[in-house]
């Protein structure tokens, strides 16, 4: 299996799902539609909806509701990036090689674009109830989607991250931030894929644990790339963590130990995935591939 080619193919398929539900650029509020679509169509790995889809396949799922959750997850993730880039947050000018949303449309529309994508994510998910799928499964997936995005998930992690900026952060606090800010949406993605496929509670719990390890490895690799990455390859400035006085795994345990942490956590995730009776070899390879990514 050529993991780069397979990942690119699946990213293309995922892109089509994401674009299917984007709003038309028309009406008096056309500016917000343009800003939303600009933000979502800026590219990216599409990792979260891809993980959702591949976990769904792992459990033999064929849910018609899946595509609504896939698209909504990317809208949710994109809103968080739009707000992260704002002057009050990370104050970044570039994202994925393009000007950030607030630099193109202004700070006011940038804020509204993030708000709009958050609301649009839930609007998109709600349409899954119009399918002839098991409403119980959709309801359980909706519950995970909501909780992992909120104050006990991504927003909670973002809050602590902002408040701790410029301060000494313990490794325990850093783990807390990463667990919520980064891991929560990855956990939600894989859990939703499993839930919609009909996985039982025990298997969903195992998927959550695997997703947590993937999320931690992914974030630590981000920390590493902020130090070692190439700005042209990354599509965003390197050294932004240092610029914003943010503590990272590299600060705490050093570059080589951080790389080892990525390897160990990724292998833990794969071990869990390999414990299921059925296998999705691409999903296993994707997790390992994340270790060596350069962007």
Q: Where are the domains of the chain?
A: 3-292
Burial per residue of 39-76, b for 16 or more beta-carbon CB atoms within 10 angstroms, e otherwise: bbebebebbbbbbbbbbbbbbebebebbbbbbbbbbbb
In this structure, what token pair is assigned to residue 254? 């050093």
What's the whole-model pTM score?
A: 0.92
Q: Which two tokens stand for residue 195?
A: 């839930």
Q: Which of 123, 109, 101 is nearest to 29 (CA)?
A: 109
Q: What is the pLDDT along the chain (295 residues), one digit of tens a residue?
A: 789 899 999 999 999 999 999 999 999 999 999 999 999 999 888 999 999 999 999 999 999 999 999 999 999 999 999 999 999 998 999 998 899 999 999 999 999 999 999 999 999 999 999 999 999 999 999 999 999 999 999 999 999 999 998 888 999 999 999 999 999 999 999 999 999 999 999 999 999 999 999 999 999 998 999 888 655 444 445 455 544 556 789 989 999 999 999 999 999 999 999 999 999 999 999 998 877 777 6
Looking at the domain 3-292, which fold is it?
A: Farnesyl Diphosphate Synthase (1.10.600)
């Amino acid at each position: 299996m050529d993991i780069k080619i397979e990942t690119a193919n699946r990213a293309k398929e995922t892109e089509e799902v994401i674009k299917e539900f984007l709003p038309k650029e028309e009406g008096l509020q056309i500016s917000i539609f343009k800003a939303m679509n600009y933000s979502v169509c800026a590219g990216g790995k599409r990792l979260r909806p891809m993980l959702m889809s591949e976990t769904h396949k792992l459990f033999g799922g064929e849910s018609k509701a899946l595509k609504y959750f896939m698209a909504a997850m990317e809208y949710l993730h994109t809103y968080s990036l739009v707000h992260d880039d704002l002057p009050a947050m990370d104050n970044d000018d570039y994202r994925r090689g393009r000007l950030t949303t607030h630099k193109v449309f202004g700070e006011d529309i940038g804020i509204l674009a993030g708000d709009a994508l958050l609301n649009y994510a839930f609007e998109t998910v709600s349409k899954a109830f119009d399918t002839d799928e098991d409403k119980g499964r959709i309801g359980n997936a909706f519950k995970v989607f909501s909780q992992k995005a909120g104050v006990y998930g991504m927003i909670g992690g973002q809050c602590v991250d902002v408040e701790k900026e410029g301060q000494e952060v313990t490794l325990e606090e850093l783990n807390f931030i990463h667990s919520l800010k980064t891991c929560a949406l990855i956990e939600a993605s894989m859990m939703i894929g499993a839930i919609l496929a009909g996985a039982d509670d025990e298997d969903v719990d195992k998927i959550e644990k695997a997703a947590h390890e993937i999320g931690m490895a992914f974030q630590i690799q981000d920390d590493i790339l902020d130090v070692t990455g190439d700005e042209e390859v990354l599509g965003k400035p390197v050294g932004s963590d240092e610029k914003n006085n943010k503590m990272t795994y590299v600060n705490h345990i050093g570059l080589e130990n951080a790389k080892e942490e990525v390897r160990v956590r990724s292998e833990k995730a794969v071990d869990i995935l390999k414990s299921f009776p059925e296998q999705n070899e691409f999903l296993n390879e994707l997790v390992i591939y994340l270790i060596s990514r350069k962007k």
